[in-house]
Amino acid sequence: MLALPLILFVLVVFLWPVARFLALSVDNSDLSDNLTRTVASLDGWNPAQGLPGEDTFVALVDDLARARRAGRDGLVGQLINQRLVGTRFLVIKTAKDAAAGKFDQRPLREAVLAAYPGWSDVSLWRTIALQRSAYTDYYLLASLDLQRAPDGSIEKAPADKAVFLEILWRTVWISFVVTMICAVVALPLAQAIVSAPPVRSRILFALVLFPLWVSLLVRTVIWIIVLQKNGPINSALLAVGLTDHPLSLVYTRFSLYIAMVQVLLPMMVLSLVSVMRRIPASYMRAALSLGASWLTAWRRVQLPLVMPGLLSGAAIVFVFALGYYITPTLVGGPTDQMISSYIAFYTNKTLNWGMAAALSVQLLLILAASAILFWTAAALLRRSAATS
């Protein structure tokens, strides 16, 4: 009962807005509602017949005039333009003239074509004919580099539009590399923290965890400052004589990895240390006393016991990295941007809600898939530990 206000709050302020936004990835009502008559008149038309007839043009002028009066003409122009680049002003200008009653002589078809020859493009009519339903798979297909062919089958998108699979893959790859680096770097560090005498161990641990308290933004900004041309790293390299000119360290994949590892490493250490603290030191001592070298003992005795911590740390780092926005945006170069940056780009720069929502759906699917993967791996690990 006492939890009710909080549950309602999260539902209204969080879950509802997110669900509503994700639904935009399949929403086509802005087009289907504003082009109802035109789309209906294109029923049975196919592109092979050439331009549609007079009744379709009458319906178009009627639809666009209504859209203009409702203040939706800009939106219709923008949405058609997303599907067929370069048609925005054609639609908006036609809508303006239609609402002003400029197309009053018959046949309308010739009047519109004379004023705006752009309407003689059959592919534009094909695009409009596809806007029948209030739902569309256009954005979700586009986010996978796919599109609908004229006959309705699914085909590969043309090369200039097929950028999204690469972005999805890049996001997964960067997260994977960051997770691997974190795992390799954190294992000895966590071991050092656990094996140190109590006071030193606590100080070390606190120092490693301190960056978690500094905002992500500040840590990212600091890397730009440190790695820039006149920054301390370049000054040091110049002073030592390793290079004779300042290196471009920032806005590269290298700087992105550095910054992301520094930001996410504490999480990995935290997860490893919490597992390692529960492993009795006597196990290692026993292995060593039986004649195993330190490395063999660590690999055969300690590592299998640490695996659950490694796995949960990797899951946390990987899942966090997948959704990273601030760090890639600020520290990465143009070819290092991850999926979140594109979600923000389609929202801020082009107001393409459908594309932003479709990419969000893909990101959430990747997140869910990796969560299931890690969860299965952990379950398998537990089972093999129980049976051995």
Partner 1 sequence: MYIYAALLLAFMLGPLLIVVPMSLTSGTSLTFPTPGYSWRWFRELADDPRWLSSFVNSVLIASSVTLLSSVLGIPAAMALAWTKFPGKRVIYAIIAAPLVVPVVIVGVAAFSFFSALGMVGNKLSIILTHTALAVPVMLTTVMASLSNFDRTLVRAAASLGAGPLLIFFRVVLPLIAPGVVSGAIIAFIISFDEVVVASFLSTGEERTLPRMIFSGVRESISPAIASAAVLLVLFSAILLILIGWLQSRTSKSRAS
Q: Is residue 183 close enough to count as binding partner 1 by CB under 8 A?
A: no
The b-or-e profile of 113-129 (16+ CB within 10 A means b, else e) is eeeeebbeebebbbbbb
146, 164 contact by CB (below 8 A): no
321's tokens: 């990295």
Which range in 154-162, 284-292, 303-311, 338-346 contacts partner 1 by CB under 8 A? 338-346
Nearest residue (CB) to partner 1, 108 versus 167: 167
Rounded to a whole number of angstroms, the minimum distance from the CB of residue 167 to partner 1 is 13
User: Using CB under 8 A as the criterion, what x/- string covers residues 252-271 for binding partner 1?
Assistant: ----------x--xx-----
Q: Residue 276's closest CA among 180, 186, 373, 184?
A: 186
Q: Is residue 377 close enough to count as binding partner 1 by CB under 8 A?
A: no
Q: Is residue 86 close enough to count as binding partner 1 by CB under 8 A?
A: no
> Tokens 């990273």 correspond to what residue?
324
Size of the site for partner 1 (CB under 8 A): 68
* Angle at the Cα of 79 from the Cα atoms of 77 and 84, rounded to 5 degrees: 85
Interface pick for partner 1 out of 46, 78, 252, 347 (rule CB under 8 A):
347
Q: Is residue 208 close enough to count as binding partner 1 by CB under 8 A?
A: yes
DSSP structural state of residue 333: -
CA–CA separation, 63 and 72 (whole Å): 11
Which range in 98-106, 120-128, 277-285, 345-353 contacts partner 1 by CB under 8 A? 345-353
122's tokens: 């059959």
How close are the terminal C-alpha atoms of the chain, in Å? 46
CA–CA separation, 55 and 42 (whole Å): 9
Q: Is residue 13 close enough to count as binding partner 1 by CB under 8 A?
A: yes
Which residues 209-228 are close enough to bind partner 1 by CB under 8 A? 210-211, 213-219, 221-226, 228
Q: Is residue 299 close enough to count as binding partner 1 by CB under 8 A?
A: no
Any residues with CB less than 8 A from the CB of 339 and at least 6 apart, and which?
A: 167, 168, 171, 322, 359, 362, 363
Q: Is residue 152 close enough to count as binding partner 1 by CB under 8 A?
A: no
Rounded to a whole number of angstroms, the minimum distance from the CB of residue 341 to partner 1 is 8
Rounded to a whole number of angstroms, the minimum distance from the CB of residue 152 to partner 1 is 30
Rounded to a whole number of angstroms, the minimum distance from the CB of residue 178 to partner 1 is 14
Q: Is residue 193 close enough to count as binding partner 1 by CB under 8 A?
A: yes
CA atoms within 13 A on the CB side of 287: 16
Interface pick for partner 1 out of 32, 191, 248, 274 (rule CB under 8 A):
191
Interface pick for partner 1 out of 325, 374, 377, 378 (rule CB under 8 A):
325
Interface pick for partner 1 out of 306, 326, 355, 358 (rule CB under 8 A):
326
CA–CA separation, 206 and 275 (whole Å): 17
Rounded to a whole number of angstroms, the minimum distance from the CB of residue 67 to partner 1 is 19
Q: Residue 331's closest CA among 264, 250, 222?
A: 250
148, 138 contact by CB (below 8 A): yes
Nearest residue (CB) to partner 1, 84 versus 221: 221
Q: CA separation (Å) from 383 to 67, 126, 377, 388?
A: 62, 56, 10, 9
Q: Is residue 386 close enough to count as binding partner 1 by CB under 8 A?
A: no
Q: Is residue 90 close enough to count as binding partner 1 by CB under 8 A?
A: no
Pairing of strands 146-148, 154-156: antiparallel
184 CB neighbour count, 10 Å cutoff: 10
257 CB neighbour count, 10 Å cutoff: 17
Q: Is residue 385 close enough to count as binding partner 1 by CB under 8 A?
A: no
User: Using CB under 8 A as the criterion, what x/- string covers residues 44-73 for binding partner 1?
Assistant: ------------------------------
Nearest residue (CB) to partner 1, 27 versus 73: 27
DSSP structural state of residue 300: I
Rounded to a whole number of angstroms, the minimum distance from the CB of residue 288 to partner 1 is 15
Please report, as ranges, the residues that interact with partner 1 according to CB under 8 A.
1-3, 5-7, 9-11, 13-18, 20-22, 24, 185, 188-189, 191-193, 195, 204, 207-208, 210-211, 213-219, 221-226, 228, 230-232, 235, 262, 265-266, 322-323, 325-326, 330, 340, 343-344, 347-348, 353, 356, 360, 363-364, 367
